Chains A and B, each alone.
Chain A
Amino acid sequence: MIELRGVRKSFGATVALERTDLAFPPGATTALIGPSGCGKSTLLRLLLGLVAPSEGDVLFDGEPLAPGNLAAVRHRVGYVVQDGGLFPHLTARENVVLLARHLKTPEERRRRRLRELSELVKLPDAALDRYPGELSGGQRQRVALMRALLLEPAALLLDEPLAALDPLVRSSLQEDLREIFRRLGATTVFVTHDMAEAAYLADHIVLMREGRIVQRGTAADLRDSPAEPFVSSFLRAQRRVAF
């Protein structure tokens, strides 16, 4: 269970996130959506302690994030960024098992997880021995996903995981991600600026604007009972692009 309690974040005079209370339903998928600069990526980073709140607490299983438990929490959370964040000096396989190796996870378990995950994310075995520079953009995201999932995390956080991909690869990965999220059952939070993607992948949508949560609910809630005119105009603008 991940929760923001009275969290506010400002960088100098700029407020990135106004005082916010928000709980992410366990086992479900939540999309953080909104225009650029609305604070959705900052919110995601707060969950992992990559930025520290100016006020309030981020709670993980009821415990506030603190320097003392940060590493332990991060070991239980998978994180995927826009272009994968794969380390170019390591092969795909080395990237995937980097943390497991540091935590001295048994070799046997590592090998089993690699097998399961390459099947789950549909990555050919041969690709595992290549360097990130030798993989396609879609393959890199699949490897990043394997790395995030290797230790069977309680939560999975993704920051615009598909934004850098071309439309065909993107649509096929969207289908795969939907399947993966459903099978995993982990608490999943992803950031996107694409309403169609959010509606397709997420159970819950959190729509943000200028550091503030405008509305939360299902895609249908947002469409049928918009909290503000902005919600409708955001959806309309998206619909135009997405036909």
Chain B
Amino acid sequence: MLLAASAAAAQRPVVIGSKKFTESYVLGEIATRSLQRAGVSAEHRAGMGGTIILWEALVGGSIDAYPEYTGTIAQEILKLSGRPTREDLSAALAARGVAMGAPLGFENTYALVVAPARARTLGLARISDLSRHPGLVFGLTHEFLDRADGWRPLAAAYDLSPGRVAGIDHALGYEALRHGSIDVKDAYSTDARIAQDGLVVLEDERRFFPDYQAVFLHRSVIAPRAAAAIASLSGTIDAARMRSLNSTAERAKDYAAGADAYFGGRPSAREGRARRILRLTARHLELVAASLLLAVAIGLPLGIRASRPGPASQIILGATGVVQTIPALALLALLVPVPFLGIGPATAVVALFLYSLLPIVRGTATGLASIPPALTETAESLGLPAWTRLRAIDLPLASRAIVAGIQTSAVIDVGAATLAALIGAGGLGEPIISGLNLNDHATILEGAIPAAILALAVQAGFGLIERIVVPRGLRLPKIES
């Protein structure tokens, strides 16, 4: 029994997750390398969508470990009030089957930063100074805006009422700060950009932000050798070192470079660009093909049902329409905790499938409903069984609208599949997301260009499919009798 369990565990690599910002990527990569150096097979699902997605993935077992901060664990994950100790956290985590390692050696708390010139002219040194300048523009990350220990309680604690608060991506926010389009931004205290741009960190003199000690969370059940490899990282990274690793990664426009620096600067073997793009494109196509096949298999029968008037038709079209209105990232986050899905390709395929359902269902339903009444009546008068009639008459007559629906779905899928990278499912979204965080256009284009080409190819491919699927008699130019 035990032997079987450990054999199964040995086959499956240890999966390390990370969030989509530089430090998390670098720490995830360091942990992955550290496991591999200890002879444990490990892989890194980099740049996943956010705290909730990673936590659900960890509890569900689709990842085994990821770097987190004690403040986030207390506030966001366990939703504890007050200032819980590390022992409190460990006890609460253990109840969920999760263990917390010893601190890595640095703290990465939230901070508010301002550009040096603005700090000088306005005399800004502490957060409370901001309340004297009500016209300032705050550019804050969406996560910070929504967090229980984020913007709203901070504004209340310091009595801040800024001119405008805008939600902005973390990496783009630094650019906005540099160009002066925002005045104040939330930051992590170890962000490389703070030193690079000479930003002024405002003092949190009322000690609003809780402790954010960096730690690794891992599942309690992972192999002792893996747990030991992760534990060996504790106390090895102080704030200066982390800032330098972050800076190395961002300057090299490559997270792996940060991990290289940690292990003594020897770069690890890296796959070439062409090879990487090919691998990502192949994965992207897999995601699109699998979800599209599923959507056709389910959407076609639903569309056939929805072509008949009645409440069922309203329900089907309504439900598939509602799915379309859920933002893709939210849909992914909702699916991650679902049993058997978790993090990875399966969830991405399900989400894409749900997304691509509406055009197929609607195309099929309207295609069938718009068959001229004289033809439906004649078809009925022949006395064919329902299935024969559907296959030989109705579906061919509706084929053009059905193919158009599938084509729309396919093109949507190619675009939406770039979000699959947020839940570790890979694809062309990987370079796009990491490029956005590194503010590196070359990396972004590495994903965006193949995705655009893919969308065009799908569009062209469907021209061909239409010639095969839509009967010749329906493609004739009309002649007058």
Which residues of A pack against B, CB within 8 Å?
45, 48, 50, 70-75, 77, 79, 81-83, 85, 87-91, 98-99, 102, 131-138, 140, 164-165
Which residues of chain A come closer than 8 Å to B396, judged between CB atoms? 87, 89
Q: Are B479 and A50 in contact (CB under 8 A)?
A: no
From A91, A98, A138, contact of B481 by CB (8 A): A138
Which residues of chain A come closer than 8 Å to B377, judged between CB atoms? 45, 50, 81, 85
Q: Are A89 and B473 in contact (CB under 8 A)?
A: yes
Q: A88-B474, A131-B476, A133-B478 are in contact. List 4 more A-B contacts (CB 8 A).
A: A79-B381, A81-B374, A88-B397, A89-B472
With A87-B393, A134-B476 in contact, is A140–B481 under 8 Å at CB? Answer: yes
The list of the 10 closest CB pairs from A to B, nearest first, reads: A137-B481, A74-B383, A85-B378, A89-B471, A131-B473, A79-B381, A71-B383, A133-B476, A89-B396, A89-B473
Q: Are A131 and B472 in contact (CB under 8 A)?
A: yes
Instruction: Give chain A nearest CB distance to B377 CB in angstroms.
Output: 6
Which residues of chain A come closer than 8 Å to B384, judged between CB atoms? 71, 99, 102
Q: Are A85 and B380 in contact (CB under 8 A)?
A: no
Q: Are B392 and A98 in contact (CB under 8 A)?
A: yes
Query: Is there a chain A Cβ closer than 8 Å to B385's Cβ?
Result: yes
Query: Is there a chain A Cβ closer than 8 Å to B382's Cβ?
Result: yes
For chain B, residues 162 to 181, give those with C-beta under 8 angstroms from any C-beta of chain A. none
Complex Cα spacing A82 to B375, Å: 11
Q: Are A134 and B381 in contact (CB under 8 A)?
A: no
B476 nearest CB neighbor, chain A only: A133
Which residues of chain A come closer than 8 Å to B375, judged between CB atoms? 85, 87
Q: Are A83 and B476 in contact (CB under 8 A)?
A: no
User: How many B residues face the partner with a CB closer than 8 A?
Assistant: 26
Q: Are A73 and B383 in contact (CB under 8 A)?
A: yes
Complex Cα spacing A71 to B384, Å: 7
Which residues of chain B come closer than 8 Å to A82, judged between CB atoms? 374
Complex Cα spacing A55 to B441, Å: 75
Which residues of chain A come closer than 8 Å to B479, judged between CB atoms? 133-134
Complex Cα spacing A152 to B380, Å: 19
Which residues of chain A come closer than 8 Å to B374, judged between CB atoms? 81-83, 85
User: Residue-by-residue, is B374-406 near A (CB-CB < 8 Å gives 1, otherwise 0)?
Assistant: 110111111111001000110011010000000
With A81-B374, A81-B377 in contact, is A90–B383 under 8 Å at CB? Answer: no
Q: Are A98 and B382 in contact (CB under 8 A)?
A: yes
Complex Cα spacing A88 to B471, Å: 9
Complex Cα spacing A134 to B473, Å: 9
A166 nearest CB neighbor, chain B only: B481
Q: Are A99 and B476 in contact (CB under 8 A)?
A: no
Complex Cα spacing A140 to B480, Å: 12
Which residues of chain A come closer than 8 Å to B476, judged between CB atoms? 88, 131, 133-134
Q: Are B382 and A99 in contact (CB under 8 A)?
A: yes
A-B contact pairs, 19 of them (CB 8 A): A45-B377, A48-B381, A73-B383, A74-B382, A75-B383, A77-B381, A79-B378, A81-B378, A85-B375, A88-B397, A88-B473, A88-B474, A89-B474, A102-B388, A102-B392, A131-B476, A133-B477, A133-B479, A138-B481
Complex Cα spacing A135 to B473, Å: 11
Q: Are A89 and B397 in contact (CB under 8 A)?
A: yes
Which residues of chain B come closer than 8 Å to A132, judged between CB atoms? 473
User: Residue-by-residue, is B449-481 near A (CB-CB < 8 Å gives 1, otherwise 0)?
Assistant: 000000000000000000000011110111101
Q: Are B380 and A50 in contact (CB under 8 A)?
A: yes
Which residues of chain A come closer than 8 Å to B380, judged between CB atoms? 50
Q: Are A87 and B397 in contact (CB under 8 A)?
A: yes
Q: Are B385 and A71 in contact (CB under 8 A)?
A: yes
Complex Cα spacing A65 to B312, Å: 29
Q: Are B383 and A72 in contact (CB under 8 A)?
A: yes
Which residues of chain B come closer than 8 Å to A131, judged between CB atoms? 472-473, 476
Complex Cα spacing A89 to B481, Å: 18
Q: Are B385 and A50 in contact (CB under 8 A)?
A: no
Instruction: Give chain A nearest CB distance to B399 CB in angstroms.
Output: 8
Which residues of chain A come closer than 8 Å to B393, judged between CB atoms? 87
Instruction: Give chain B nearest CB distance to A33 CB in angstroms.
Output: 21
Q: Are B473 and A91 in contact (CB under 8 A)?
A: yes
From B399, B473, B481, contact of A90 by CB (8 A): B473
Q: Which one of A88, A89, A164 has the highest number of Cβ atoms from chain B below 10 Å of its Cβ?
A: A89
A75 nearest CB neighbor, chain B only: B383
Which residues of chain B come closer than 8 Å to A75, judged between CB atoms? 383
Complex Cα spacing A77 to B479, Å: 31
Complex Cα spacing A45 to B473, Å: 28
Complex Cα spacing A90 to B392, Å: 9
Which residues of chain A come closer than 8 Å to B478, judged between CB atoms? 133
Instruction: Give chain B nearest CB distance to A154 CB in angstroms.
Output: 13
Instruction: Give chain A nearest CB distance to B22 CB in angstroms.
Output: 58
Instruction: Give chain B nearest CB distance to A101 CB in angstroms.
Output: 9
Q: Which one of A81, A82, A140 has the highest number of Cβ atoms from chain B below 10 Å of its Cβ?
A: A81
Complex Cα spacing A98 to B397, Å: 15
Complex Cα spacing A73 to B479, Å: 35
B381 nearest CB neighbor, chain A only: A79
A136 nearest CB neighbor, chain B only: B481
Instruction: Give chain A nearest CB distance to B342 CB in angstroms.
Output: 45
Instruction: Give chain A nearest CB distance to B439 CB in angstroms.
Output: 54
Which residues of chain B come closer than 8 Å to A137, judged between CB atoms? 481
Which residues of chain A come closer than 8 Å to B472, judged between CB atoms? 89, 131
Which residues of chain B come closer than 8 Å to A135, judged between CB atoms? 481
Complex Cα spacing A73 to B383, Å: 8
Instruction: Give chain A nearest CB distance to B265 CB in angstroms.
Output: 68
Which residues of chain B come closer than 8 Å to A164, judged between CB atoms? 481
User: Residue-by-residue, is B356-378 near A (CB-CB < 8 Å gives 1, otherwise 0)?
Assistant: 00000000000000000011011
Q: Which one of B378, B385, B393, B397 has the highest number of Cβ atoms from chain A below 10 Å of its Cβ?
A: B378
A164 nearest CB neighbor, chain B only: B481
A132 nearest CB neighbor, chain B only: B473
Which residues of chain A come closer than 8 Å to B473, judged between CB atoms? 87-91, 131-133
Which residues of chain A come closer than 8 Å to B378, judged between CB atoms? 79, 81, 85, 87
For chain B, residues 233 to 269, give those with C-beta under 8 angstroms from any C-beta of chain A. none
B371 nearest CB neighbor, chain A only: A87
Which residues of chain A come closer than 8 Å to B388, judged between CB atoms? 102
Instruction: Give chain B nearest CB distance to A238 CB in angstroms.
Output: 25
Q: Which one of B374, B383, B392, B479 has the highest number of Cβ atoms from chain A below 10 Å of its Cβ?
A: B383
Q: Which one of B471, B473, B479 has the highest number of Cβ atoms from chain A below 10 Å of its Cβ?
A: B473
